[in-house]
Amino acid sequence: MVNSTSQALLPADQARNMVFDKILHKDSSTSQGGLRAMINKDNEAHKAAVVEYFQHWDDKKAEDETEAVRQSRVIDYASLTRQYYNLATDLYEYGWGEAFHFCRFAYGEAFRAAVNRHEHFLASNIGIKPGMRVLDVGCGVGGPAREIVKFTGCHVTGLNINSYQISRANQYAVKEGLTHKLDFVQGDFMNMPFPDNSFDAVYAIEATVHAPSLESVYREIFRVLKPGGVFGVYEWLMTDAYNNDDLTHRRIRLDIEQGDGIAQMLKVEDGLAAIQAAGFTLETHYDLAEEDSNDTSVAPWYWPLGTDLRYAQTFMDVLMVLRMNRFGREVSHAFISLLELLQIAPAGTRKTAQSLGKAADALVEGGKKKLFTPMYFMVGRKPEF
């Protein structure tokens, strides 16, 4: 059943945030998503969310970044992540759909099929079976959870810090008749509202990058996982090719962090050290983005953000790329500016869209230079004893 935790049982700050989010989004959580939801916001609350999020980024350049600047973002990770998704969720649904993640592509494979296969691959590799109780850490609006439930027959509990995304995930679960297989819970993955040894398996798809410490979030996942259970993750990490002293590299990282609500990104070696320090026995790990990177007949993971239409397999693929590439984004930004001028869209919508566009360009550049991967795949098992 869909979770309906009473605000009276929530910590004061979480209850306060839920009230703010409800004022901000009004009834847009019941909209069809995308543009309709985007324009149905409270203007003053939206402006406050924009100020709270962009205080970490405005007037800051790559050459000026210090450890203190990075730490200020890390300390404020919860607010940064929550407000990012308050601002970006509708834009994601408009441009990308209901599963907010990248994927690999097979030859001739359409975007939606590739996204689903990426989720199936994860579910298969961590051994999800019918009837298992599974945790989705950082579940977004529930797209992967719904797909994995349908693919495996398990029960998935989705955890998310953002109440707006939880409300949209609940709406989609009702729409698809899956409420008996899905629960969605608002909470911070650094302090999960679940007892020890609660789940048979846990997965995270491009979500734990928002954590202030990978080791700490992995330790919390370890706690709620049953002995012998498996954790699988697609992690966003900088590769060994990344050099923080190279200002071009650092600018790419910062643009990705700003446009994707990330306090700090770490390197592959840090991710591997973190999952093992958390107590997991590491069963497999490798960079899925690297698997087909030299095969030009296969679309690279970042192609939907670029301008190359040769990999599009369906009319919907074409429309998505035209929305997401630089030309399409400029058209969208101009339209959003007009909506803001007419006070149809809330103030700050264009600024958020431009920040997402900046990140998209950095993701493509980082992907081409092999400085970054959105899908470093790790599978760890919690020992039986």
Beta-carbon count within 10 A of 89 CB = 24
Residue 167's pLDDT is what?
A: 93
CA atoms in the 13 A half-sphere facing the CB of 209 = 27
pLDDT tens over the chain, length 385 residues = 444 433 345 567 777 888 898 899 988 877 766 777 888 899 999 999 999 999 988 877 888 888 888 899 999 999 999 999 999 998 888 878 888 899 999 999 999 999 999 999 999 999 999 999 999 999 999 999 999 999 999 999 999 999 999 999 999 999 999 999 999 999 999 999 999 999 999 999 999 999 999 999 999 999 999 999 999 999 999 999 999 999 999 999 999 999 999 999 999 999 999 999 999 999 999 999 997 777 878 899 999 988 788 899 999 888 888 877 777 788 888 888 888 888 888 989 999 989 999 999 999 999 999 999 999 999 999 999 8
Residue 320's pLDDT is what?
A: 83
Residue 57's pLDDT is what?
A: 84
Query: Quick one: which of 21, 114, 106, 117 has its CA closest to 295?
Result: 106
Length of the chain: 385
Contact in structure between 168 and 194 (CB atoms under 8 Å): no
Give me the phi and psi of 275, to 5 degrees please. -70, -30
Residue 108's pLDDT is what?
A: 92
pTM of the entire predicted model: 0.92
Q: Under 8 Å CB-to-CB from 277, ≥6 apart: which residues?
A: 215, 218
CA dihedral 43, 49, 51, 56 (to 10 degrees): -160
Our CA angle for 314, 318, 319, nearest 5°, is 115
Q: Which domains does the chain have, with CATH numbers?
A: 1-385 (3.40.50.150)
Report the distance separating Cα 353 and Cα 317, nearest Å.
Answer: 20
Contact in structure between 374 and 206 (CB atoms under 8 Å): yes
Report the distance separating Cα 322 and Cα 318, nearest Å.
Answer: 6
SS3 375: strand
Residue 6's pLDDT is what?
A: 37
Residue 2's pLDDT is what?
A: 45
Report the distance separating Cα 159 and Cα 232, nearest Å.
Answer: 15
**Percent helix / strand / coil, the chain, rounded to 5:** 50, 15, 35
User: How do 225-238 and 372-381 pair as beta strands?
Assistant: antiparallel
Report the distance separating Cα 128 and Cα 183, nearest Å.
Answer: 17
Q: In what order do the strands lie in the sheet with 199-205?
A: 182-186, 155-160, 133-137, 199-205, 225-238, 372-381, 281-287
Residue 4's pLDDT is what?
A: 40
